[in-house]
A and B are shown apart, each in its own frame.
Chain A
Amino acid sequence: DSGVTQTPKHLITATGQRVTLRCSPRSGDLSVYWYQQSLDQGLQFLIQYYNGEERAKGNILERFSAQQFPDLHSELNLSSLELGDSALYFCASSPQQRGGHTQYFGPGTRLTVL
């Protein structure tokens, strides 16, 4: 157990809908990262937050957004869902905003868009 929690574990929804994925980092970690893993694909970085502030953006679609709250949990919002958004979504946390620190991954949320 990495100490990073994610809910829900599974999510099945229809095209055009909107969903929210939730992540709680390890105790003491201030950085939260979101990654997308599609079938047969590697891990694609989406976005990083540190202590409530956005720090870096990767290949995140405009239909996707995220935020980090004062208690440091983070939410990833996916809207106008398309079939191609079906994937495993992982969040990871680390103590610092800079690289060079171990990132611990949560168990992931499997999103299926029908």
Chain B
Amino acid sequence: GENVEQHPSTLSVQEGDSAVIKCTYSDSASNYFPWYKQELGKRPQLIIDIRSNVGEKKDQRIAVTLNKTAKHFSLHITETQPEDSAVYFCAASTNGGSQGNLIFGKGTKLSVKP
């Protein structure tokens, strides 16, 4: 089955710097890759997603890139702010068959220092 590896597990940056989180996946059939942000004790919230027919997607300060050949995708946050501090999870799923569950990476705890 699918396996998603996520690095780093913790990341500390200064306010205004950029942050990059990387994930790799094992199943070449995976074609949907969402990123979730989870604040302490709260629900995971989708911040951006990408499908395998696209190489890059941007939404204001957040961007995701996908390299299907290498089976990895990355989250880029520019001009980080203290409110970006949270745990970020990458995930993968396929768009075929009769199931749609997400396989998550183990998360990256991002700390943005003012």
Contacts and interface: CB of A to CB of B under 8 A. Distances in A.
Given A55-B98, A56-B101, A98-B96, A105 B106 contact: no
Nearest to A31: B100
A102 B95 CA distance: 12
A106 interface: yes
Interface stretch (B41-49, B67-75, B78-86): B41-49
Interface residues of A, number: 28
B25 interface: no
B103 interface: yes
Interface residues of B, number: 28
B51 interface: yes
B68 to A, nearest CB: 15
A45 B103 contact: yes
B75 to A, nearest CB: 15
Contact of A105 (B45, B93, B98): B45
B100 A101 contact: yes
B98 A97 contact: yes
Interface string A20-43: 000000000001010000000111
Contact of A102 (B34, B42, B98, B99): B34
Contacts of A45: 101-104
